[in-house]
Amino acid sequence: MALKFIYKVCMMNELLEKLFQGKEGNILILGLFLTFSLVVFIIVSYQIDVNFANKITGIVISNVFVGRVPSLSFGYTANLSHLVVIATNILTELILVSILYPFFVYSFNGILKVALLEDFFDNVKAKKQEHQEKLNRYGKFGLFIFVFIPFWMTGPIVGSIIGYLIGMKHYVTISIVFVATAIAVTLWGLFLQEIIDFLLVFDAQLVWILLFILVSTLLIYRFKNKILKLLRKE
């Protein structure tokens, strides 16, 4: 029993050493640091202003599970400032990239497999094949545009993984993704605030109804495969 425990501890230590070594390990450390900073900020906010903290939490959750546009819309509908809405969204997306990118590298190299992420990684590989020629032709600029345009199965996470698959260096890929994400979120934020301010002139309740419809539609689309599987089982 003691030998098994010691063996497991040794294996765990060996895995941790592999996870935190190299450039991908540094990116993971950055992701964990940003996550820790965001969590601390939210916890402190709850001690100062619960309503504000709830809104920040809502932005983060919306971005993770639904996407950038609904998250930005939620922030502006909740009457938060440009700085807060845009900064929270940028930070959330950078965290996702900084954590999921290294995990893809580990999975690709056979160091660590995360069952929940394998289907997503397979879809990204297929996406890479689809855009292989364009990405090879335009290189860094092509990756920037791919991340900048917020269509389904594009964006920072997918873009960073594709950057790795086409042979870009870790730090180059992450730098391009970070810059493209910051610019895209800022421009989308400015655009969406104008629309929401216009709609609020008519009725604030209308904005919340439209946001609910948008989020519901995106959630159904995002998880449609899982929903269909559950229906087939029944």
Categorize the per-residue pLDDT at 3 as very low, low, confident or very high, splitting at 50, 70 and 90: very low
Q: In the numeric block, which tokens belong to residue 211?
A: 């946001």
Q: Is the Cβ–Cβ distance between 55 and 80 less than 8 Å? A: yes
Q: In the numeric block, which tokens belong to residue 112?
A: 């660590």
pLDDT tops 60 at residue 175 = yes
pLDDT tops 90 at residue 48 = yes
pLDDT reported for residue 199: 60
* E-state strands within the chain: none
Categorize the per-residue pLDDT at 12 as very low, low, confident or very high, splitting at 50, 70 and 90: low
- Top pLDDT among 191 and 2 is at 191
pLDDT tops 60 at residue 5 = no
- CB neighbour class for 147 (10 Å; exposed up to 12, middle 13-18, buried from 19): buried
pLDDT tops 60 at residue 221 = no
Q: Give the mean model confidence (pLDDT) for residues 217-222.
A: 59
Categorize the per-residue pLDDT at 60 as very low, low, confident or very high, splitting at 50, 70 and 90: very high
pLDDT tens digits, residue range 111-163? 777 666 677 677 776 666 666 666 666 677 777 877 777 554 557 888 888 88
Diameter over CA atoms, the chain: 70
Q: What is the DSSP string of 82-139?
A: HHHHHHHHHHHHHHHHHHHHHHHHHHHTTS---HHHHHHHHHHHHHHHHTHHHHHHHH
